[in-house]
Structure 1
């Protein structure tokens, strides 16, 4: 139950073939028949009927013909997906017989069994992470709500924890159901239960139960500070929850439900621009390659932080690569792609669509859209003034809404800079407060170094660390930047601690070891931006910053941080710039007599064509300061160039 779908499948195959029994190997935690009951749709449905719980109308099929029959019983549109598959592999929505045949064939190429489900697009999608021990103690550790309604894979959805739009009755109805289902199935350890909830009634159905740790488990673990895998491992060995100590507080038992006094927003990271001809539409099959987690005291604050974390070129909740017409904008909202959140931003910023109109197309809850509208209202207020006339009240409102200094500078009238906004803000004593994630909403004293920063507060939960070395993490996984950089960051922290230095990690990727709070002396789940690094650097009186172990994002901060007076450890900032800046690098190569291909930095198509005519095709086109060939292409003709 720890290695995802692959481990689950291998374990089931070994058990079914009798190999485990023959070798006398015991399966710990959730037993194979229980796992089988959650993975096989017909068995799952029968199990839930025993306790009068409902799943979405669903049929299993092993051939295209059986699939067609099931679709006709349910009625189009239907969702087709492969059983025993991860990330919605080979799934999609069929509107008619032709689409149904294609999807069935595709799904059957990935699995021997396919599932045909009732179409519940537009319903709310919710998840509960549940922990149960062999003594039948059962708790729900975290509940999460998808910003996007059902129809988009949860791995491709913006997700918030705790849920934001549920009433008390809805929350407890789903929580009680989760506990009832997990107890009835007999799961031992950790599992994830997903629901579809009708947006205007108490009608719900269970989508699925994952009797294993999943991607959502990693997110829930980081969102709450509750170490799910650590606790689940002990429960698999037969320990009761009451004997496991909460690793965060080191005082209370693990048999408690975490209480959150903050909001977590997870946003997926896609990298589809690196592949030519790939559809950017998002739906039931997961396409994202990584994710980020922003923490704040409000939806507005955590969402804006998370948007900047996904991509350093994103300033926050504002239009990006504008849609040229209202029709194109509406099409984006109706058929979502990885740009949907920016389409909503454009619609609200330009006042071309109301919240009701956006809801009618997207089915995103009115409450979420109203929060986004509040972000835009603050932008509208800032647009009316310049930095000299900006009141402290408006500055504080903007910071509470999650606006960065850079965003504020770009929004105000006149030509303000990020540094000028920062100076005015600090002059008015508008600085972020450091808060702890302690799993207990500060009800008990907590011995934790798991921190985030917010402008909603009146005091710091912890004082200055007074020295130590800051290590900047690698951010979200993307094509060409993955766990190898996290290994570098963690190795760096461990070496620092062995040498007796206090270590601080800044990172925002919930899928990494570097964001485990016990790896370093202080963990800031925060943005890797100049503004936030400076906030932490000055607050903690750090001795220096390591930028060379986290890949391109920290590397790109070397010069801005150096200019702001930060002590860069290791390779000096100007030497990093000499390697990254094409002109400086070229001069260095000439100085030491090393050959290099002919190149030129150009800013127009005409000059590029002239250069290509001069040196001959093929030519390589690329930007500076990028990793793994982002936006890099080879051109063989004038047209391609």
Structure 2
């Protein structure tokens, strides 16, 4: 089969759907059969698309406006989360903070080639994968994307005005030059899991967010914290609960765990995570999982608000510990406790709270950052 030829995992996507509806990642022929059947129900008249799914890859976007194939203005943003999280659920940073110059150049050149060959006039958005400095196109959307207002605010260039003039063939194109020197913009997703009973609050290829918030800061850490606070997240004052599935996640989060310890936050953890942290010299209090029916139990601590933040990192496509991890995540949402389920987001959050206090987050008008 095609999937076996290109190698698992593969991405299954129905044709002509919005927000990644019924999109799934298959890691085996059994997964493939299940997800193909599901996708065929969504779009019976049109084919299901199967493509290679790349793990541990960075996702980048370019928003641009072209006229007769020539790009007039553009902005390159990077996602905090690795590829595999729907762009509508991802945390977006502009200007990009962790891109090689070669990667940026490749993106600019590819975008110009696509605009030229498609003879684009108007707004468009291209999503890219980058891995080992190799850039690949995920898709090109010939429309204004949800990030157009964000990049317009951050750059001070009204991308829609430029696009409108280009489409109407108005010769007087607004000034599209901009320079971002001493600030960063972050767009964070807004979720409504608390209003949807039983929904699993995880980030996957199918979009789940219901809105977004854009914030500015002197650096990524200030902008990121402000954007999370604006979505309703509160900063931990006393304690954090950590549950890390798999050895790789435990190793990846080690530096962040050490930072939490230095911040003086009490760390609660599940059995496996607690043992790993102890082996690395980090003290934590073990809490039993919900299904173990022993004390002290994580559910009791969540219910009694003894935990300020839940960090539950696991592979969203790995079902072995799904039931118990789901109960932890869902309980955090039901009890109104901030929840982080993505490794890159959790690492950035821990780094940010180690560098910024609440009093460091400035409240300034847009005009303080941008001079149109």
TM-score by length of 1: 0.42
> What's 1:297 paired with?
218
Trace 1:96-175 onto structure 2 (pairs within 5 A).
96-111=28-43, 112-134=46-68, 136-175=69-108
2:245 and 2:313 in contact (8 A); partners too: no
> What's 2:234 paired with?
315
User: 1:104-132: per-residue Cα shift (whole Å, max 9, x none)?
Assistant: 12222233222111111210100011211
- What is the rounded CA distance, in whole Å, between the counterparts of 2:343 and 2:48 in structure 1? 28
- What is the rounded CA distance, in whole Å, between the counterparts of 1:293 and 1:91 in structure 2? 27
Q: Tell which deviates more after alignment, 79-88 or 120-129.
A: 79-88
DSSP 3-state at the match of 2:226: helix
1:319 and 1:346 in contact (8 A); partners too: no
- What is the rounded CA distance, in whole Å, between the counterparts of 1:211 and 1:142 in structure 2? 16
Gapped runs of 5+ residues in structure 2? 263-276, 281-311, 316-341
1:156 and 1:268 in contact (8 A); partners too: yes
- What is the rounded CA distance, in whole Å, between the counterparts of 1:373 and 1:76 in structure 2? 33
1:322–1:205 CA distance, 2 compared to 1 (3 A) = same
- What is the rounded CA distance, in whole Å, between the counterparts of 1:348 and 1:115 in structure 2? 43
DSSP 3-state at the match of 2:81: coil
Gapped runs of 5+ residues in structure 1? 1-68, 246-252, 336-340, 379-400, 409-429, 440-445, 449-641
User: Among 135, 141, 150, which residue is 1:210 paired with?
Assistant: 141
- What is the rounded CA distance, in whole Å, between the counterparts of 2:313 and 2:244 in structure 1? 14
User: Quick one: higher RCO (CA 8 Å, sep 6+), 1 or 2?
Assistant: 2
2:244 and 2:313 in contact (8 A); partners too: no
Cα deviation, residue 438, structure 1: 7.1
Compute the RMSD of aligned alpha carbons: 3.6
DSSP 3-state at the match of 1:184: helix
- What is the rounded CA distance, in whole Å, between the counterparts of 2:128 and 2:217 in structure 1? 26
Cα deviation, residue 76, structure 1: 1.4
2:20 and 2:207 in contact (8 A); partners too: yes
Trace 1:190-269 onto structure 2 (pairs within 5 A).
190-198=123-131, 201-240=132-171, 243-245=172-174, 253-254=175-176, 256-257=177-178, 259=180, 261-269=182-190
> What's 1:349 paired with?
260
- What is the rounded CA distance, in whole Å, between the counterparts of 1:82 and 1:139 in structure 2? 33
DSSP 3-state at the match of 1:115: strand
1:126 and 1:143 in contact (8 A); partners too: yes
1:363–1:321 CA distance, 2 compared to 1 (3 A) = closer
- What is the rounded CA distance, in whole Å, between the counterparts of 1:91 and 1:222 in structure 2? 31
DSSP 3-state at the match of 2:152: helix
- What is the rounded CA distance, in whole Å, between the counterparts of 1:322 and 1:279 in structure 2? 20
1:128–1:431 CA distance, 2 compared to 1 (3 A) = closer
Cα deviation, residue 374, structure 1: 4.5
> What's 1:404 paired with?
358
TM-score by length of 2: 0.69
2:249 and 2:314 in contact (8 A); partners too: no
1:146–1:307 CA distance, 2 compared to 1 (3 A) = same
2:63 and 2:75 in contact (8 A); partners too: yes
DSSP 3-state at the match of 1:160: strand
> What's 2:287 paired with?
none
> What's 1:375 paired with?
352
Cα deviation, residue 190, structure 1: 0.9
1:139 and 1:257 in contact (8 A); partners too: no
> What's 2:338 paired with?
none
- Whichever of the two has the greater Rg, that structure is 1
1:322 and 1:346 in contact (8 A); partners too: no
DSSP 3-state at the match of 1:154: coil
User: Among 109, 114, 126, which residue is 1:176 paired with?
Assistant: 109
1:221–1:108 CA distance, 2 compared to 1 (3 A) = farther
1:330–1:85 CA distance, 2 compared to 1 (3 A) = same
DSSP 3-state at the match of 2:208: coil
Higher strand proportion, which one? 2
User: 1:324-352: per-residue Cα shift (whole Å, max 9, x none)?
Assistant: xx5x2447x969xxxxx9x9977741364
User: Among 247, 262, 281, which residue is 2:202 paired with?
Assistant: 281
- What is the rounded CA distance, in whole Å, between the counterparts of 1:281 and 1:375 in structure 2? 22
- What is the rounded CA distance, in whole Å, between the counterparts of 1:289 and 1:435 in structure 2? 24
- What is the rounded CA distance, in whole Å, between the counterparts of 2:17 and 2:179 in structure 1? 31
Cα deviation, residue 88, structure 1: 0.9
1:334–1:279 CA distance, 2 compared to 1 (3 A) = farther
